[in-house]
Amino acid sequence: MTSNITVWGRINSSNVRKVLWCLEELGLDYQQVDAGGAFGLVDSPEYLALNPNGMIPCLRDGSFVIWESNAIVRYLARKYGKAPFMVEDPESWALADQWMDWTTFSFGLPFRNLFWNILRTAPADRDQDAIKLGIDHCSTQFAIADAALSKKPYMSGDNIGVGDIPLGCLAYAWFSMEIQRPDLPHLEAWYERLTNRAAYQKAVMSALT
Ligand SMILES: N[C@@H](CCC(=O)N[C@@H](CS)C(=O)NCC(=O)O)C(=O)O
């Protein structure tokens, strides 16, 4: 679909991947501008005028500007989505919100600590105790997702939806890291379903570092 969408953010950021994956699933045209990390730009007055947090991602759609990755994903689904990404009933939205918020607030912090210790820290400087604790903590959280996925094929229910997007981006890093993972068959089957999607392959499955 033709649109006038620009996304700022480096593609190896999990939060940027959420937005890119959603755009790909919705079949929207967009321009991606590298920003953040080694690309800088986020401290410039021009960027701060778009996103005063100086963080990525940020999306502009025509003259409308929005930041916060989960909010961007919901905006795109509501504006451009059709089922399964746009849902109508309050219960389906509530479940999508539940998993999006859970991923950010319950899962995100322990995962970030683990991710940084392994992928953003030189081997000699890694804190092995923190890594072990991080794997334990993430495994406990992933077991909650695994239990949900034992009943339905997606976090969003019978079909994929925006509720799958945040965890799906972190799952790529989890399954790519050289760590000892617990046996969580429903989570693994869900992850495999995601990896078969062209949009996921294009937007999420790129180099982590
Ligand atoms: N809650 C924000 C968090 C954004 C965030 O933490 N972005 C990180 C990248 S994942 C960032 O901007 N880091 C600074 C940088 O990359 O320069 C969101 O979900 O959009």
What pLDDT digit, counting tens, does each position of 58-90 carry?
999 999 999 999 999 999 999 999 999 999 999
Tell me what pLDDT residue 209 has: 80
Token readout for 145 is: 């997702």
Query: In this model, does residue 12 exceed pLDDT 90?
Result: yes
- If one residue of 55, 65, 101, 172 were mutated to test the ligand 1 pocket, choosing by the most ligand atoms within 8 A of its CB, it would be 55
Q: Are residues 96 and 132 in the same domain?
A: yes
Q: Are residues 102 and 62 in the same domain?
A: no
Indicate if 118 and 192 belong to the same structural domain.
Answer: yes
Among residues 57, 80, 103, the one where a domain terminates is 80
- Are the beta carbons of 32 and 60 closer than 8 angstroms? no
119 falls in which pLDDT band (50, 70, 90)? confident
Cβ-based neighbours of 138, under 8 Å, separated by 6 or more: 107, 110, 111, 114, 174
In this prediction, residues 100-116 reach a mean pLDDT of 93
Q: Whose C-alpha lies nearest to ligand 1, atom 16?
A: 36
Write down the pLDDT at residue 3.
76
Residue 24 domain boundaries: 5-80
pLDDT recorded at residue 120: 85
Q: Summarize the confidence of residues 12-23 as an average pLDDT.
A: 97
CB atoms near residue 105 (< 10 Å): 9
Instruction: Report the nearest-CA residue for atom 12 of ligand 1.
Output: 55
The verdict on 75 and 96 lying in the same domain is: no
Residue 209 domain-assigned (yes or no)? no
Residue 34 maps to a domain: yes
| 103, pLDDT greater than 80 | yes
Ligand 1 centre distance from Cα of residue 16 (Å): 8
As given in the structure block, the two tokens for residue 206 are: 């790129």
Summarize the confidence of residues 5-30 as an average pLDDT: 98
* Position in ligand 1 atom list of the atom nearest CA 56: 12
Mean pLDDT of the 149-177 span = 97
Among 79, 115, 85, residue whose Cα is nearest residue 100: 85
Per the structure, how many domains does the chain have?
2
Q: Are residues 134 and 70 in the same domain?
A: no
Q: Identify which of 15, 20, 169 to mutate to test ligand 1's pocket (most ligand atoms within 8 A of the CB).
A: 15
- Cα of 10 from ligand 1 centre, angstroms: 10
On whether both 59 and 160 belong to a single domain, the answer is no
Query: Are 5 and 60 contacting, i.e. CB atoms less than 8 angstroms apart?
Result: yes
